[in-house]
């Protein structure tokens, strides 16, 4: 009877050891290695001291590095709120929040659209979460009220109300003299 018990224990030990190998392979196959926590379909909300929602972050994947004070997100969707209304939406391929410097660095296919249709496109953007400022030294395109500005580098506030293109490369705008086509009215 002791032999059967010993065989049963050995079988359990082999199964447990085998499971640990599979788990370590899964972790090594992640996009980011060494994270404390990795999550899918991540969502995080931030509130001010009054309890008002100030931003909502969503990502397909999130990797949290507790000891380093940073988090990395893939397929980032970052909404900012004021008085319960979305003021801007920032999307990008990858984002990294550094808790020490209070910055969010976003890379790849960045789109920032404000509630009044101001639009920023870039490949890299640094958002200072405390100062609520945006900057980059990479190529950018800013579209505001029919005017498109392209250049290298940017300094702006989070709502794109104050924008400085560091090295402007070109400006284009809608022609106010151009006649707009009028759609014929529907007859009932």
Per residue of the chain (188 residues), what is the pLDDT tens digit?
Answer: 555 544 444 444 344 444 333 332 333 457 888 888 899 999 999 999 999 999 999 999 999 999 999 999 999 999 999 988 999 999 999 999 999 999 999 999 999 999 999 999 999 999 998 999 999 999 999 999 889 999 999 999 999 999 999 999 988 887 555 555 555 555 55
Strands of the 163-173 sheet, one edge to the other: 37-47, 53-65, 70-82, 85-98, 103-114, 119-128, 133-144, 147-157, 163-173
Query: Can you tell me whether residue 25 is helix, strand or coil?
Result: helix
Closest by alpha carbon to 168, among 145, 149, 143? 149
Mean pLDDT of the chain: 83
* Record: fold of 34-173: lipopolysaccharide transport protein A fold (2.60.450)
* Rounded distance between C-alpha atoms, residue 175 and residue 22, angstroms: 62
């Amino acid at each position: 009877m002791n032999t059967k018990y010993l065989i049963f224990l050995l079988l359990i030990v082999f199964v447990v050891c085998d499971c640990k190998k599979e788990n370590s392979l899964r972790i090594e196959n992640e996009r980011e290695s060494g994270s404390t926590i990795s999550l899918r379909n991540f969502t995080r909300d931030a509130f001010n001291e009054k309890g008002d929602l100030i931003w909502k972050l969503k990502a397909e994947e999130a990797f949290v590095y507790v000891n380093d004070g940073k988090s990395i997100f893939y397929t980032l969707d970052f909404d900012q709120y004021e008085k319960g209304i979305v003021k801007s939406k920032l999307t990008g391929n990858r984002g990294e929040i550094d808790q020490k410097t209070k910055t969010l660095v976003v890379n790849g296919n960045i789109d920032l659209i404000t509630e009044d249709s101001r639009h920023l496109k870039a490949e890299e953007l640094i958002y200072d979460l405390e100062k609520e400022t945006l900057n980059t030294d990479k190529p950018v395109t800013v579209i505001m009220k029919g005017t498109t500005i392209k250049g290298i580098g940017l300094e702006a506030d989070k709502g794109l109300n104050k924008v400085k293109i560091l090295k402007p490369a070109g400006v284009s705008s809608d022609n106010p003299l151009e006649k707009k086509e009028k759609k014929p009215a529907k007859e009932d």
